[in-house]
Structure 1
C-alpha cells in the first residue's frame, strides 16, 4: 500500500538534513524555524521513526534519516527537472553522439551551434574517439565514423567522401618535386597499413619502406606534419582551415579514396525524435553545402559564357559606330 506523505514535510526534512539546521532550512524555504521543526516532527510521527538526533549544537541524522535523504533528494531533483521541461514548453531529449575526432574538429564543431539554435530542446552530448567505437558499450545513440559503411548490426548513411592526400609543412614541401622524393622523408602512418601503398599506386611511383610513426588519429598526424615531423596522409577535406592558412601544404594533387564518413546507429535501436532531428539536420546541411560548392564551381563558367556573348555585341556596336 502506497503511503501518502505531505510534500511540505518531505521538503522540510530534505533541506534540514542537507543543511543540518532547522533555522537555515527555514531561510531557504522562506518559512519560520518553528514551521520547519513542526513539519519534520509530523513526518517522523507518520513514519514512526526519528530522523534526527537533536543536540544542543545542531542536528545529527539517525540511520533512518541517512537512508531517506539520498532517495528523497533524487526524487525532488527529478520533480524539479520535469517541471523545468514543462515550463520550457517542450520535452528535452539527450542525444549522445560518438564522433571520430577528425570529423568533429574538421566539420562538426564549426556547425554544431546551428543545430543547437534549430533544436533547442535537444541536449547534444558529443564523445570523440579514434574511430574504434562500440555503440552499445559506449551508450551511444548515434556514431559518426570513417570506413566503408559495413559494420555488423548497424544502419549506415553515407555522409561525405574523404580521399586521402599527403600534407606537410612548408619546409618539407620545399624538398618535394615528385612523388618518389617522399622516399627520403618520414611518412606518418595510421593503423590502416594499406593507405600509403594505395596512394603511391595512384601517384604512379614505387612505395618505399615506410618507417614513420603510427597515429590513431588524423588530427594528431596532421599536427605532427605541420610541426615538420614528416609527411602525413590525411583526409584533406577535414583540414581546409590549415590548408587555407598555409600551416599545411599539399605537395601533390594525387589522392586515394580510402573511405568515407558515415552516420551509424544500431539496427535494434528505436530511432527517437532527437536522433531523427540530428540525422536530418546533418544530411540537410551537407546537401546545402554541396549545392553551394557546385554553384561556386559553375560561376566562372557562367561568367565566361556571359563574356563570350558580350564580345560579339561589343564588335557589333563598334561596327555601327564606324558606319555612322
Structure 2
C-alpha cells in the first residue's frame, strides 16, 4: 500500500539533512526553525523511525536518514526539472541511449547536433560503453552496439556493416609491403581473439603469434596505433577522419567482416515517441550518408588534358595576343 507522505515535511528533511541544521534549512525554505523542526518530527512519526540524532551543536543523520536522503534528493530534483520544463512551455521526453564508444566517436557525435535541431523536445542522454551492455540494468531505452544482432530478450535493427582492417602510424605503414611483413610488428589485439587470424586468412598470409596488449575499445586501440605502439585491427569506417588527416594509415586493403552496428531495445519495453524519433532519424541519416557515397562513387572522374593539347592551346593563345 502506497503511503501518503507530506511534501513539505519531505522538503524540510532534505534541506535539514543536506545542511545538517534546522536553522539553515529554515532560511533556505523561508520558514522558521521551529516550523522545520516540527515538519521533520511529523515525518519521523509517520515513518516510525528517527532520521536525525539531535546533538547540542547540530544534527547527525541516523542510518534511516542516510538511506532516505539520496533517494529523496533525486526525486525532488526530477520534480523540479519537470516543473521547469512545463513552466518553459516545452515538455520533453528523456531518451537514454547506450552507445559503444567507437560508434559514438566515429559516427554519432559528428551528427548529433542534427538530431537535436530536428527534435528539440527530446532530452537525449548518451552513455558510452565498451560494448558490454545490460539494457535493463543500465536503465537504457536504446542501445547502439556491435555484434551479430542476436541478444537475448531484445529487438535489433541493422545499421552499418563494419569490416576490420589494419591501421597504424604512416611511417610504420611505409615499411609494410605485404601482409606477411606484419609478423615483424607489434600487433594490437581486442578481447575477440579470433579477429587477427580471420584477417590473415582473408589476406592469404599465415597468422604469426600475436602477443600485443589487449584492448576493450577500438577507440583506445586506434589511439595506441596512432602513437606508434603497434598495428591495430579496427572497423575502418569509424576512423575516416584519422585516415584523411594522416594520423593513421591503412597499409592493406584486405578486410574481414567481424560484425555490424545495431540499434537494440528490450522486447518487453513499449516504444515511446522519443525512442521512435531517434530510431527513425538514425535510419534516415544512414540512408542519406549511403546515397551520398554512391553519388560520389558514380560521378565521372574529371578528364585530364594531355600535355600536347595544353601546349597547343597555349601557342594559339600567344598568337592571338600578338
Which of the five TM-score ranges fits, normalised by the shorter chain?
A: 0.7 to 0.9
Distance 1:248 1:99, change over 3 A: same
- Alignment partner, residue 207 of structure 2: 208
The 5 Å alignment of 1:96-175 reads 96-175=96-175
Q: Is contact 2:22–2:36 with CA below 8 Å preserved after alignment?
A: no
Q: CA deviation at 1:23?
A: 6.9
Deviations 1:77-134 (A, max 9, x none): 4543332232133433332222112111111122223323333333322222222222
SS in 1 for 2:188: strand
Q: CA deviation at 1:261?
A: 0.6
SS in 2 for 1:187: coil
Of stretches 72-81 and 117-126 in structure 1, the one that deviates more from structure 2 is 72-81
Higher Rg: 1
Q: CA deviation at 1:250?
A: 0.7
SS in 1 for 2:83: helix
- In angstroms, what is the RMSD of aligned CA positions? 4.0
The separation in 1 between residues aligned to 2:283 and 2:79, in whole angstroms, is: 36
TM-score by length of 2: 0.74
The unaligned stretches of length 5 or more in structure 1 are 308-324
The separation in 2 between residues aligned to 1:118 and 1:172, in whole angstroms, is: 43
Q: CA deviation at 1:239?
A: 0.6
The unaligned stretches of length 5 or more in structure 2 are 306-322
Distance 1:48 1:180, change over 3 A: closer
- Alignment partner, residue 308 of structure 2: none
Distance 1:18 1:291, change over 3 A: same
Deviations 1:274-322 (A, max 9, x none): 2212211211211122222222223335x66xx9xxxxxxxxxxxxxxx
TM-score by length of 1: 0.73
Distance 1:189 1:61, change over 3 A: closer
Distance 1:106 1:20, change over 3 A: closer
Answering whether residue 82 of structure 2 is matched by residue 82 of structure 1, we say yes
Q: Is contact 2:21–2:59 with CA below 8 Å preserved after alignment?
A: no
